[in-house]
């Protein structure tokens, strides 16, 4: 996402996107000191506002950041470039508009977190070199409207995640989760909202979509080998060119309007 696009997002986004982001509670130096004092045990930073801070390259692994504000506003976005958040607790945290290039959230708990408008690339498209890592992360119920092309979400828990387009708020174009060529092998997306989400060429082997909403989702060329779609809503979804070996479509809804499926 470009800086110009970020400015447009901040101006037109819902008010909740940048809540609590007026000022950070700590400076980068103060935060670094707290991390050093914790000596790898995981600093307690729950509820803190870290909005707008440059936290690039810091090691926040196992830190407790429940309810923390790691968001940004306009051009002054919080930066987590190359930051390590492995095993961190970010329950209910706000990361809207944050820069997350190469950030490592492996095994982090992002339950009910908000990840909207994330900056994942220095260019117009996310490259494999800059994609963030969410392997094994818990994103249960998280709100995700971001470009996450090539991102690693292998084995992530995305149950009830809200990743679809909210058609009540689309004044700037389709705001949804975009995961082209992302790695989601073994991810659990049961009950997730993926309405109109972009999953082109994504690795979805053994992923679980039981009861998920895939209405209008784009799955062109995706690898759904062994995926479980039992009870999912797939009306108007596009599976053209997708690999569907051993995929389970029992009791799906809207199959008659889905494209690219064998009849």
Q: Is there a domain that residue 77 lies in?
A: yes
3-state SS assignment for residue 150: coil
pTM above 0.75, yes or no: yes
Q: Is there a domain that residue 261 lies in?
A: yes
* Distance (Å, whole) CA 78 – CA 76: 7
Domain count, the chain: 2
Cα–Cα separations (whole angstroms), residue 185 to 6, 18, 80, 209 = 30, 32, 25, 12
Are 64 and 42 spatial neighbours (Cβ–Cβ below 8 Å)? yes
Residues 5 and 118 in one domain: yes
Q: Which domain holds residue 246?
A: 153-263
Residue 248 β-bridge partners: 228
Residues 174 and 102 in one domain: no
Residues 94 and 164 in one domain: no
Walk along the chain (263 residues) in steps of 10 and give the mean pLDDT of each run: 42 41 76 81 81 92 92 75 96 95 98 95 85 98 96 98 78 78 98 97 98 98 98 98 98 97 86
* Distance (Å, whole) CA 116 – CA 255: 30
* Distance (Å, whole) CA 134 – CA 164: 19
Predicted local distance difference test score (pLDDT) of residue 104: 98
Predicted local distance difference test score (pLDDT) of residue 76: 66
* Distance (Å, whole) CA 69 – CA 57: 18
Q: Is there a domain that residue 145 lies in?
A: no
Other CB atoms within a 10 A radius of the CB of residue 262 amount to 6
Tell me the CATH number at 262: 2.160.20.80
Residues 85 and 169 in one domain: no
pLDDT in tens, 74-109: 556 789 999 999 999 999 999 999 999 999 999 999
């Amino acid at each position: 996402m470009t800086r110009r696009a970020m400015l447009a997002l901040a101006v037109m986004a819902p008010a909740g996107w940048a809540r609590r982001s007026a000022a950070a509670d700590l400076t980068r130096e103060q935060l670094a000191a707290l991390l050093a004092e914790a000596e790898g045990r995981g600093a307690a930073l729950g509820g803190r506002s870290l909005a707008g801070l440059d936290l690039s390259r810091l090691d926040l692994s196992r830190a407790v950041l429940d309810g923390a504000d790691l968001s940004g506003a306009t051009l002054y976005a919080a930066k987590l470039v190359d930051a390590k958040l492995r095993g961190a607790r970010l329950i209910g945290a706000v990361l809207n508009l944050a820069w997350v290039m190469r950030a490592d959230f492996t095994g982090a708990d992002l339950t009910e977190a908000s990840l909207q408008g994330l900056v994942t690339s220095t260019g117009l498209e996310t490259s494999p070199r800059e994609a963030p890592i969410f392997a094994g992360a818990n994103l249960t119920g998280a709100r995700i409207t971001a470009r996450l092309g090539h991102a690693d979400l292998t084995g992530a828990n995305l149950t009830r995640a809200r990743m679809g387009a909210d058609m009540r708020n689309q004044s700037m174009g389709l705001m949804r989760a975009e995961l082209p060529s992302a790695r989601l092998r073994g991810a659990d997306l049961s009950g997730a909202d993926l309405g109109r989400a972009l999953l082109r060429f994504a690795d979805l082997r053994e992923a679980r979509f039981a009861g998920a909403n895939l209405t209008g989702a784009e799955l062109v060329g995706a690898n759904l080998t062994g995926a479980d779609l039992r009870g999912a809503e797939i009306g108007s979804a596009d599976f053209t060119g997708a690999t569907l070996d051993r995929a389970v479509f029992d009791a799906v809804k809207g199959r008659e309007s889905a494209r690219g499926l064998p009849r």
